[in-house]
Amino acid sequence: MAEAESETAATDSNTMSTNRGQFDGFFEHFMAEQSRHLIDLRAAATAHPQPPATDLQKLVERVVAHYENYYMTKSLCSQRDVTLMFSPTWTSSTENLFMWAGGWRPTTAFHLLYSKSSIQLEAQQDEILKGLHTADLSNLSAVQLQAVHDLHRSTINTERAISEKLAVVQKEVAAKEMVLVAGTAGEGMEGEIQKKRECALSVLQQADQLRIDTIKGIVGKLEFSQAVHFLIAAAELHLAVHEYGKAKDDATVAIEEQAAVPAD
C-alpha cells in the first residue's frame, strides 16, 4: 500500500513538473503579448484624431479575448494539477503577496478604475470646466458610475462567498478524516488530498470566472475610448508589478549566492 502511494506520488511529481514548465512558457507568452497590446492601446489613446469607434471596439475585443484565452488555458492546466495555481513559480514573490484564490482579487479592478478616473479627472479639470469632451475615464457619466457601483457591489458579494469556500477548503486539512490518516503513517493520504484538490479546483474555477466576468463587466459599462484607458491602466499595473517583483527576486537570489561563496 505504502509502495503504491509512493509510486503515485513520484508520478504526480513528474507530471506536476511538466505542467509547471508548460504553464511557465505560456505565461511568458501571455505577458509578451500583453506588452504588445499595451503599445497598441497607448497608440489608440494618444492618436489625433481619435480612431473610429469600430477600430477601438476591435482593439478592446482583441485585448479582452486575450484575457479570456488566458483563463481558458489556466482552467485546462488546473484540471491536471490545481496545486500549481496556488503556488505559482511564474509570478514573483511580490505578486504572490497580493494573490487571492489563485490570482488577483476581482474587486481590485474597481479600485483601479476609480484611481485612474480620479487621476485623469484632475489632469483634465480645465477641459471639463470648459465643457470640452474628454475621451478617457475623467468623463464617466452618472449612469455609468451607478452601473459600475452596482457591479462592484455584486462582485464584493460573490468574492466574499468564494473566500468563505476557500476558507473551508483550507480548514479541511485538519478535518477528522485527515487526522485519522495522519495517525496511520500517512496511508490513504492521497485519497484525502485528492478530495481537497477537487474542492480547491472548484473554488479556483469560480474565482477565475469572477475575474474574467469583472473585466468584461467593467469594459461593458464604458465607451470604447474609455475602455482603452481602463485596459491601459490594467496592463501597466500588471506589467510594472511583475517586472519589479522579478527584479527584486533576482537581486535576492544574487545576494544569497554571493553569501554562499566561501571566503578566500
How far is 135 from 249, CA to CA, in rounded Å?
39
Q: Which residues of 155-175 are buried (b: 16+ CB within 10 A; e: fewer)?
A: beebbeebeebbeebeebeee
Q: Which stretch of 44-58, 114-128, 193-207 has the lowest confidence by average pLDDT?
A: 114-128
pLDDT, mean of residues 79-97: 95
CA-to-CA dists, residue 196 to 46, 83, 102, 127, 172, angstroms:
49, 10, 15, 56, 8
Cell triple for 256: 544569497
Spell out the residues 6+ positions from residue 58 whose beta carbon is closer than 8 angstroms to its own. Answer: none
CA atoms within 13 A on the CB side of 63: 28
Residue range of the domain that includes 121: 2-231
- At 10, is the pLDDT very low, low, confident or very high (cuts 50, 70, 90)? very low
Q: Is residue 142 part of a domain?
A: yes
Give the residues across from 103 on adjacent strands: 100
- At 5, is the pLDDT very low, low, confident or very high (cuts 50, 70, 90)? very low
* 15 has a pLDDT exceeding 70: no
Q: Is residue 115 part of a domain?
A: yes
Sign of CA dihedral 242, 243, 244, 249: positive
pLDDT, mean of residues 52-57: 98
Q: Is residue 193 part of a domain?
A: yes
Q: Is residue 260 part of a domain?
A: no
Give the residues across from 100 on adjacent strands: 103
Q: What is the total count of domains within the chain? A: 1
Closest of 65, 67, 45 to residue 56, by C-alpha: 45
For the chain, how far is it from start to end, CA to CA, in angstroms? 51
pTM, 2 dp? 0.88
92 compared with 187, residue with greater pLDDT: 92
pLDDT in tens, 143-169: 999 999 999 999 999 999 999 999 999
pLDDT in tens, 191-238: 888 999 999 999 999 999 999 999 999 999 999 999 999 999 999 999
* 52 has a pLDDT exceeding 70: yes
Q: Is residue 61 part of a domain?
A: yes
Q: Is residue 96 part of a domain?
A: yes
